[in-house]
Structure 1
Amino acid sequence: MSSSFNVSVFLTGLTLSLSLIMAIGAQNTHVLRQGLRREHVAAVVAVCALLDMALMTLGVSGLAASLGEYPRALDALGFVGALVLVVYGAQALRRALQPSTLQAAHGGAPVSAGRMVAQTLSLSLLNPHVYLDTVILVGAVGAKQPAGSQVAFLLGAGSASALWFVALGYGARVLTPLFAKPIAWRMLDLLVTAMMWTIAAGLVQRSLHL
């Protein structure tokens, strides 16, 4: 196992995680709403980031361990992951052509920290896409990284998730006017498309051993 930290693999994890998480959705709206209300922001951010990290670790370590002795199966999974990234990139491109906005209501009665954690967990875990994105997709890309570099990949992916939720939760009052502009989401989705398709191309190359 290599003792050096693979910066390239770290950046792959970082960009993949960011490209998956930077989209309008229930979880982002929930974090933004709590940021605007300044209510249990730390708890919400921590739950979202730690849950992402746990699921991504499960995916990368589980797939790497279970398929490590079956390189052809791992290559096939790499192709599947690349295909999913291409489809996700196409969806982001379509969103860029018809941009939406991210809005979060300020109202609502205050709730306890425990109830807010439970709401955040249910909102995240009951979304089937979270498992496809973190366990399967991130797991497939992470398992295809060079031997000994999975930790760097997970650090990159986890850092992206943590940075995004911290920025969204604590920067809500600053970011909301930006997120309310369709042009901002158009540029963001174009960036997401480029990142996803670039990672997909690299995944295909590794699966073909080019």
Structure 2
Amino acid sequence: MLESYLTGLIVCGGIIVAIGAQNAYVLSQAIRREHHWWAAGLCMAADITLFTLGMFGVSAALMAMPQALEILRWLGVVFLGWLAIQAFVRASRGRAALETGEASRRSLKGVLFTTLAVTLLNPQVYLDTLLLIPAVGAQQENATTFVAGASSASVLWFGLLAWSGSALAPVLSRPLAWRVIDGTIGLMMAAIAFHLAFNGSL
């Protein structure tokens, strides 16, 4: 059982860390201290739900609907492109963008919607959680313990992102730092969108 748990923790931890758009968004919210624990919690809940569904055979239904993944792919390209443009605009405005952000914080509903979109509009998420992970889990001695390990990886990683981003906020909230952070996030989102458009997955 311990081996199944550790396999789930390590394999799924590597997959979660590799999903760049989701991580970049949660980290940016944590640095802003803007509903970041809600965003992290939603990512955890989505991962745990998808891991569980994958282990109970939803992968078969996904294989039967390849066109659904194609639609999600292009929706993801558009949405990530929009997030990249927003980040570049904030980076170009610098101090003004920071002051505006402090004056008008985003609503919890807006943050949750964006988190959900970043999480679910990437077809690679479904390939990983509903196909790849169940394929590994099927070879384990205890599937339930494997899912527990995978879920623990998600909780630990997104908890770390939310905590570390918030803890570093006083240092990273300087105007120049914000320009660098937003510029970097914009580049990451744009790169992921291009990769998704031309390669079909991350």
Same fold (TM > 0.5): yes
- Any runs of at least 4 consecutive aligned residues in structure 1 with deviations exceeding 3 A, and if so which? 104-109, 173-177
Q: Is structure 2 residue 41 aligned with structure 1 residue 46?
A: yes
Deviation at 1:48, TM superposition (A): 0.2
Distance, in Å, in 2 between the alignment partners of 1:159 and 1:55 is 14
Structure 1 residues 38 and 10: CA distance shift in structure 2, 3 A: same
Deviation at 1:133, TM superposition (A): 1.1
Aligned residue in 2 for 1:150: 143
Aligned residue in 2 for 1:163: 156
Aligned residue in 1 for 2:9: 14
Distance, in Å, in 2 between the alignment partners of 1:24 and 1:159 is 17
What is the percent sequence identity of the aligned residues?
42
Deviation at 1:24, TM superposition (A): 6.3
Distance, in Å, in 2 between the alignment partners of 1:47 and 1:18 is 17
Aligned residue in 2 for 1:74: none
| 8 Å contact from structure 1 (residues 31, 44) kept in 2 | yes
Question: Cα deviations across residues 14-49 of structure 1 (Å, max 9, x unaligned)?
Answer: 001111112361110001001101110121011001
In the TM superposition, 1:56-67 aligns within 5 A as 56-62=51-57
| 8 Å contact from structure 1 (residues 34, 40) kept in 2 | yes
Question: Cα deviations across residues 72-113 of structure 1 (Å, max 9, x unaligned)?
Answer: xxxxxxxxxxxxxxxxxxxxxxxxxxxxxxxx9794452111
Letter in 1 for 2:118: L
Distance, in Å, in 2 between the alignment partners of 1:62 and 1:54 is 13
| 8 Å contact from structure 1 (residues 59, 134) kept in 2 | yes
**Structure with the bigger percentage of helix:** 2
Deviation at 1:61, TM superposition (A): 1.7
| 8 Å contact from structure 1 (residues 32, 169) kept in 2 | yes
| Number of equivalent positions | 133
Distance, in Å, in 2 between the alignment partners of 1:173 and 1:42 is 10
In the TM superposition, 1:85-100 aligns within 5 A as none
- SS of 1:22 mapped into structure 2: helix
Distance, in Å, in 2 between the alignment partners of 1:42 and 1:174 is 13
| 8 Å contact from structure 2 (residues 54, 133) kept in 1 | yes
Aligned residue in 1 for 2:184: none
Structure 1 residues 125 and 63: CA distance shift in structure 2, 3 A: closer
Please, what TM-score do these two structures have when normalized by structure 2?
0.59
Letter in 1 for 2:16: I
- SS of 1:31 mapped into structure 2: helix
